[in-house]
Structure 1
Amino acid sequence: MTDYSIMRELTFSSRDEFTRKPIAEKIIKLLDSDIDVSPMIIDGKWGTGKTEFCFKLKNLIEENNPNDYKVGYVNAFQADHANEPLLTLIAEVASFYDEKDDKRKNFIKNAVPYLRLISGIGLKAGLGFAFGRYAADIPDALADGMEEIKDGSKSLIDQSLESMIKDQVEAEKNLSTLRDALSDIASTNPIILLIDELDRCRPDFAVMMLETIKHVFDVDNVQIILITNAEQLKATIKHSYGSETDSHSYLYKFFKYQINLPTTIKDVEGRSIENNVTYFKVTVQASRVIPQDFKDNEFIYEIPTFLDVGTLSLRNIEQIVRCIETLVVFENIERSKSLTIEQILMVFLSFVYMMDRDLLNQIITRHINPTKFSNFIRGTRLDMRQPYSRSNILNDLSIKNLFSIVFDKYFVNSFLDLPSSTIEQQEVQRHIKISLGKYDYISDIHKDEYIKQIINNLLLFDIVK
């Protein structure tokens, strides 16, 4: 579960493993400019660190704040249960000021009439009897004052329509008053509202929040930023309005600008590296359980570089590290025969445990489908038939090829294409043994025992929960 008390204190100075400060600085430049960018979406998939980025952005705005912004944070998911998005947003704006401040008092005073009108007060029973099955479509507020209407009265519809017209006129007047009060506050202190976690809300609440932003908060000097998963928000809209709805067009009639949080960063050589790869190393290094010699084993950090970790969230990466920590706790160091290869297998099998339980079961039964394994490590069969090909593979044996060799006896069919002659096969095996020495590899017997031990420990608890 996200610890918001810790999140609120985070800045890009405390940590910025995904190099996102430049993105935040550009967002601030847009907010400071004369370009109309509000409401804005900061889009990111689930588990990509959106909430952390949100708080870091808020703290960066407040750190250097020449425009004297009032910056608010709203967790839409936490507000979902109240079912009143307008009340939630107004409460956040009111919180900018002390309870005795006249600005706060005046703002709340002007907000209350509209809040009271749209909050569903009034009686619905009379209209329920009169309109039968259509009663569910009638807002509660329209039933106000209907207690005296008698069954079958000819004037029922006339009185209902009159009530509706009066309420509509009153709503427009009160909404205008509320918007004027909001604009008055923002003229002194421009407002930025960061709305987080909308993609986790009930569909009806999420749509209500969007409508509220559009109709109430579209005033000068008030800027709204939604930090959300845009695709999930589109799915929410379809859920509310039907699968035939053009959710993309509906969503972007509300928003003027979208910032996409990158899922990769560039290394010193300009290559793209998945954020998950970076986060894995950062999380391992920060662990208070994993010993230093384990953290210093550079081979373990190569493992996520060739797996399809783009399918994993940052929370999944944390769970994988929790698997490793669990295995470390269960480890009997006194019985260790080769720390390097043991640590490599521990990390690899933790990724398998999290990413592909079917493959894990195949390893357990020692009956691995070669194609499945190849797809998992995104590798190919190892061709040892020609001297030049096997020298390329074995002279500097990569981690990816290491696993192809280590698990070869587990495959339904061998993953290695060996020469036809027995002498050449023996030569290949000799070279393989030398190459495995890079990873402090002892023997197949030790490897098999250790794999079994790791899997038994992983399956002892359901670590992913």
Structure 2
Amino acid sequence: MKLKLNPIQIEPSDPFKYDLLGRKEEILNLSLLVSNVNSPAVIAIDSRWGTGKTTFIRLWEQHLKEDISPSLYFNAWETDFSDDPLVSFLGEMNEGLKTLIGANEKANEAWEKTKAAGKQIAKRGIPALVRIGTAGIIDADKIIEDEITKAAGSLAGDALDNYLQQKKAIYEFHVALASFVEKSADGKPLVIFVDELDRCRPNYAIELLERIKHLFNTEGLVFVLALDKEQLGHSIEAVYGNGIDSVGYLRRFIDFEYQLKEPDKASYIDSLFSALQLYKFFQPRKQYGELRYDEDHLKNVFTMLATNLRLSLREIEQLLASINIAIRTAKENEYIFPALLVFLLISKHFKSDAYQRYVSGDGTESELIDYLHEIVPERNRDESFECALVEGYLIAAKSGRFQKAESPILLRHEEILQSEELNYKEKQYSEVVVNVVNRPAGLGHGVNLNRIKDRIDWLGRFEFSDSEG
């Protein structure tokens, strides 16, 4: 029995073996682009949080290694405790380059010179020299003026001399870095993946961007940044003020942007069902006639809601992991009403006030049915068995066996069935709703809403990790 999803396994010899999202074609095409792009270049993989950016670039990195193309991975978020991104970046690169360089003496010598120059830059600090390179986006004239004023006002401290020395250190860094790339990459571009930039402290994220563009602007280097551009824009505004054109600012640092392809959610959910071994849970239940469709109801309703709500891959994983835990304590022949369970769990997550009113003794089904109709567009609703199924269960769970007629929504569906004017699809939808209300779990069985609520409340005691973006 598997209660949670393990991180994707990336086989060194076959990186795409366990890829659930079909990313191979995208990565092969991007690898071809990188091999032909004029370097230096910065490519942004732009996608919102939870859409699988980290998995994507990890797969890409391993593919390049398998293709004997030099590459390195740097997780910016794991290093933003450092005061200076340059220090942490060079430190992480140093670890990765040990394997890449191997016994190449000339490359090792060039890298040592690069590190030495980098240490001088980090020691002296480069706030003005780097940011002047973004002239037109921030007030470069003001920066220069401030630097000259500081220099003129403190000549005794050799501020101007320090300014010139750090400029020289940057030049030496560029020369050493170019020499290193030439001697180590064997004619192929060195691809450096920078992950989770948008999760860093605003100052750290912006400083790292600035250093990448102005210190590593060297032929033979290609940076791939995994980020959420909208979120990074907020970081830029936090550093430089709300008046800054964050989109224009980012254009100074990024040469190409690539939007990750929207994955097929139905296929992904199907893969997650297999990964969580949910079929093993449902298989013995199929011997009971009234439970034999539980697996289909769970999968199809969850897919309908995830697709229409445009849930991220991370949200899909976490919600399905929650559902998995919620049902695992059920007996083999116990009614769990998976269609209703899924909808209520998602309602609690995204519409908590309406959910609380529904599960309380005083609430009715109307508010959550309105929410269901918001999720499923009217143009698709009449043909959606899953939507009708959920609507029927929402009514049944709030109605006693001898009080069904008190639901105005149920009365409306019954009127539709009697109407001679409405079309077949509308009548078919209403027929499903009415049948579910009348027989939610077969003859003689009703929906135990309190039991479903207890399962959902129990999930509140668990905490699910959201470490990967």
Same fold (TM over 0.5): yes
Structure 1 stretch 177-186 or stretch 280-289: which is displaced more?
A: 280-289
Aligned partner of 1:251 in structure 2 is 250
Asked if the contact 2:392/2:436 (under 8 Å) is kept, the reply is no
The letter of the residue matching 2:312 is: S
Q: How does 1:88-167 map to 2 (within 5 A)?
A: 88-94=88-94, 95-97=96-98, 102=105, 103-119=107-123, 157-160=154-157, 163-167=158-162
Distance in 1 between the 2:212 and 2:274 partners?
42
Q: Secondary structure at the match of 1:74?
A: strand
Q: Secondary structure at the match of 1:81?
A: coil
Aligned partner of 2:394 in structure 1 is 407
- Give 1:437 shift: 11
- Give 1:226 shift: 0.3
Paired residue total: 404
Q: Deviations over 1:346-375 (max 9, x none)?
A: 333333333332232133126246355233
Aligned partner of 1:184 in structure 2 is 179
Distance in 2 between the 1:38 and 1:244 partners?
28
Asked if the contact 1:381/1:417 (under 8 Å) is kept, the reply is no
Distance in 2 between the 1:38 and 1:100 partners?
28
The letter of the residue matching 1:76 is: A
- Give 1:237 shift: 0.3
Distance in 1 between the 2:170 and 2:410 partners?
70
Q: Secondary structure at the match of 2:447?
A: helix
Distance in 2 between the 1:79 and 1:138 partners?
30
Q: How does 1:293-308 map to 2 (within 5 A)?
A: 293=283, 297-307=295-305
Distance 1:175 1:442, change over 3 A: same
Q: Secondary structure at the match of 2:194?
A: strand
Aligned partner of 1:291 in structure 2 is 281
Distance in 2 between the 1:404 and 1:355 partners?
18
Q: Deviations over 1:411-433 (max 9, x none)?
A: 974255246699889x9999659
Distance in 1 between the 2:365 and 2:437 partners?
27
Distance in 2 between the 1:438 and 1:61 partners?
59
Q: How does 1:368-447 map to 2 (within 5 A)?
A: 368=364, 370=366, 372-377=368-373, 378-379=375-376, 398-408=385-395, 410=398, 413-414=408-409, 417-418=412-413, 436=436, 441-443=441-443, 446-447=445-446
Structure 1 stretch 291-300 or stretch 74-83: which is displaced more?
A: 291-300
Distance in 2 between the 1:260 and 1:296 partners?
37
Match of 1:49 among 52, 59, 72: 52
Aligned partner of 2:203 in structure 1 is 204
Distance in 1 between the 2:393 and 2:41 partners?
55
In the superposition, the TM-score normalised over structure 1's length comes to 0.74
Distance in 2 between the 1:38 and 1:230 partners?
18
**C-alpha RMSD of matched pairs (Å):** 4.0
The letter of the residue matching 2:257 is: Q
Asked if the contact 1:370/1:415 (under 8 Å) is kept, the reply is no
Asked if the contact 1:7/1:52 (under 8 Å) is kept, the reply is no
Distance in 2 between the 1:97 and 1:59 partners?
17
Q: Secondary structure at the match of 2:49?
A: coil
Structure 1 position 173 matched with structure 2 position 162: no
The letter of the residue matching 1:237 is: I
Distance in 2 between the 1:43 and 1:171 partners?
34
Q: Secondary structure at the match of 2:247?
A: helix
- Give 1:91 shift: 3.0
Q: Secondary structure at the match of 2:167?
A: helix
Q: Secondary structure at the match of 2:242?
A: coil
Distance 1:231 1:61, change over 3 A: same
Distance in 2 between the 1:422 and 1:116 partners?
81
Aligned partner of 1:151 in structure 2 is none
Aligned partner of 1:279 in structure 2 is 268
Distance 1:381 1:54, change over 3 A: closer
Distance 1:36 1:380, change over 3 A: closer
Distance 1:301 1:181, change over 3 A: same
Distance 1:2 1:223, change over 3 A: farther
- Give 1:214 shift: 1.1
- Give 1:4 shift: 7.6
Distance 1:430 1:441, change over 3 A: farther
Distance in 1 between the 2:242 and 2:331 partners?
55
Q: Secondary structure at the match of 1:258?
A: strand
Distance in 2 between the 1:423 and 1:280 partners?
38
- Give 1:263 shift: 2.4
Distance 1:210 1:320, change over 3 A: same
- Give 1:82 shift: 1.6
Q: Which runs of 5+ in 2 are unaligned?
A: 126-144, 286-292, 400-406, 421-426, 465-469
- Give 1:213 shift: 0.6
Higher relative contact order (CA 8 A, sep 6+): 2
The letter of the residue matching 2:392 is: I
The letter of the residue matching 1:286 is: A
Q: Secondary structure at the match of 1:225?
A: strand
Q: Secondary structure at the match of 1:40?
A: strand
Q: Secondary structure at the match of 1:192?
A: strand
Structure 1 position 358 matched with structure 2 position 385: no
Asked if the contact 2:190/2:222 (under 8 Å) is kept, the reply is yes
- Give 1:227 shift: 0.7
In the superposition, the TM-score normalised over structure 2's length comes to 0.74
Distance 1:325 1:407, change over 3 A: same
Distance 1:464 1:413, change over 3 A: farther
Instruction: Report % sequence identity.
Output: 19
Asked if the contact 2:193/2:225 (under 8 Å) is kept, the reply is yes
Distance in 1 between the 2:233 and 2:209 partners?
12
Asked if the contact 1:11/1:56 (under 8 Å) is kept, the reply is no
Aligned partner of 2:262 in structure 1 is 263
Q: Deviations over 1:211-235 (max 9, x none)?
A: 1011111110011110111111111
Distance 1:113 1:403, change over 3 A: closer
Aligned partner of 1:458 in structure 2 is 456
Q: Secondary structure at the match of 1:96?
A: helix
